[in-house]
Structure 1
Amino acid sequence: MNTAEVQIPETDEVFADLLNEQFGDNGLIGSVVKGTIIKINPDFVTVDVGLKSEGRIPVREFGQNPELKVGDTVEVYVDRYEDREGNIVLSREKARREEVWQDLEKAMNANERINGVIFGRVKGGFTVDLNGAIAFLPGSQIDIRPIRDITPLMGISQPFQILKMDKVRGNIVVSRRVVLEETRAESRAELIDAIKEGSVLDGVVKNITDYGAFIDLGGVDGLLHVTDISWKRINHPAEVLSVGQTVKVQVIKFNEDNQRISLGMKQLESDPWQNVEERFKVGDVYKGKVTNITDYGAFVELEDGIEGLVHVSEMSWTRKNVHPGKIVSTSQEVEVKVLEVDPEKRRISLGIKQCTPNPWAAYVEEHPVGSVIEGKIKNITEFGLFVGLNDEIDGMIHLSDIAWDKSGEEAVKDYAKGQEIQAKIIDVDVEKERISLGIKQLTEDENATALDGFKKGDTVKATITAIDDKGVDVEVNGVAANIKKADMSKDKAGQDLSQYNVGDELEAKVVSVDKKKGRLGLSVKALEIEEEKKALEEYSNTASTGSALGDALGEALKKK
């Protein structure tokens, strides 16, 4: 026995070589060839492809109700050899797929678009049928902007761009977005060339912000500002617009340099402010709805696109320093009177309180000046007393109108909040909504009667009754008066109050007599100035005798 080492070739390679030798493969495995149908039965179609053995193909691979007959030529894919029966394994389905792959590779290399149908969803995207080849469409490549519902895009033939192909793995990645962007770029160029101010276009709401909405005009976006959406007040664009909504807009401004487009919707409607003064006349009363409330008032809609402002001062006759939100509420229907119309500034001034009777005027009709009223002190301030006249209005008693014989600061100490008092109406200003009251006017002023004996310019003798750092209180024939520190002398030395004592007598000039307030105005300073003037006039002629004017004046003053 020969013990020499014998090398045995690999079994698979030997078997393949034997098959190739027997059947005449000629390198056809894995390729598409043309064959002739030689036999048809219910399950299989037998096809001769020119090899030593025929191949069988399931009838189902030719589709439903195929029109086949013996002798027809068909393209088939040579898959492999049958190892037991020796028949060639052919595939019509793989042949079609190979054809599609070849067409797809040509389209990708030529950067051409291909048609396909989206038919299913998978993780991260969708599946697309490209005439028999299955491709993957990533979710990011389905559209230029996010789409909530893709259902309308499924089941219809539409163009795609092949991004990547891997025949070995059988992977194809396509994009619909690329096609849309190219189409959009073409449309954008055409639109930019044709666009002009005043053009009316159809667009789709692309995005909504607090200040407006961006509208896709078909390749180019424009801004629709919130103030140009409607003539009526809109607080936020989302109140009337939604993403994806189709709208008709007008180009109101186009900047060719930066290609910014400003759009408007309200410009397509008639301007409600035209002839507004004819529809809303000053003095007329209308009903409206409160649309917005601010710190300074409330806006009331009179009709679509027409709003007026009710200033806080025109909301109530009696509720002062109250926020408008405590008087009216949003969406409330109110009656308003037109106070002013300014079509140029698009402003209408309205009033709510003017639609009700003025309580100040009504009160004065029943209580004219001079009437005596009773009321409760509601508040005490540094300048007077506030007295409630009824549930709505108050009157004020100034400090100077509390007492005849006391200063206001002293007199007010005799009263307390909540105290019931009597007072006389001394003045009324309906427009300014003021009613002035007085307590001292309830009695006759004794000083006023005593003042009948005084007139401005008189020289009187006064007795000091009190001294403080502001001046001195004096009495003249039973009438009390006050001389301020600055009026005690024209000289600084004479204004030093420490040199005066209670009981001292002074000569002073009457500078004012106010019988209404019962006041007598006195001034020592004014008397000194007057005497100096008289002395100057008396001795003015002595200058001609050789005496100096100063000497003459001094001599005259010595005689005093």
Structure 2
Amino acid sequence: MWETLFKIAPEGFSLEQFDLWTELYEAKERGTLIEALVVRVKRLEVQGETWEVEFASKPGITGIVPANENGLPNGTPMNEFVGQKIIVKIKGVNKDEDLVACSRKEAVDTMLLRLISQLEENEVINAVVRAIGRRSVYLDIGGGVIVRVNQEKARLSKGVPLNVQYEVGSVLKVTVVALDYEKRIIEVLPVDPWNLWQFNRGEIVLGKVVSIRDNQAFVSVKPGIIGLALYKAEDGYEIDDKVEFQVNSYHKAKKQLHLLKWDPKRTVERRRERERIRTKRSTTSK
């Protein structure tokens, strides 16, 4: 590494600026936590799936976090964390090979006990989406403590896939439904947004198009509430566009919202057609 290659500091620098290891050695001795960036998932023969992590301002040094030290609920997809920052404890340092053995589990266990002692059942808190699996969503409720919520409880809008309903890095409100200090368990559920909002047929709403799949558009109209709209290429909107839609139907109990792309001209034409039909019926009845 750099500090072993300089006998005298380059002009304008000090040797301390090239000291990449002292902080890591001190963190190991003191048990302090270090922030790291997950850059790769690698499968090793003994450890199985393993994160490779990097540390800020420490180029060339690689941290290793094996699966049994990742501190995640069973079944959490490790690939989802590539590109995300995590907190680790330094367990060992191999300076010759520029490797550092790390544990996220020990860092998270400390935070878990703190959270259990601070939280109360039925308390509403914020959570951040850290990973989305096929059948579960994984929420960070603070300090890297990840809670798994299965799809039956995580699905907020009917017919909406989890990877459309949720976005990694987004914030949502959850309710603490269970706490167990002895078993070190915290359970949460997303707050049901359908209890907060009401929509009526015919209303015009501004929604953000979050996904388009085949002939169906998924439109976010309120946090957690995603409506479904028939999509045609001539509609002319794309993902992330904000578009005006008209409410076609709303079912609170079923958690369904069906939308139509708002077209003022077409609405006027339909109104005129209805008037024409009524007038014709009235004339015929006479």
* Band of TM-score, shorter chain: 0.3 to 0.5
When Rg is computed on C-alpha atoms for both structures, the one with the higher figure is 1
Q: TM-score, normalised by structure 1?
A: 0.26
Q: TM-score, normalised by structure 2?
A: 0.45
> Higher relative contact order at CA 8 Å, sep ≥6: structure 1 or structure 2?
2
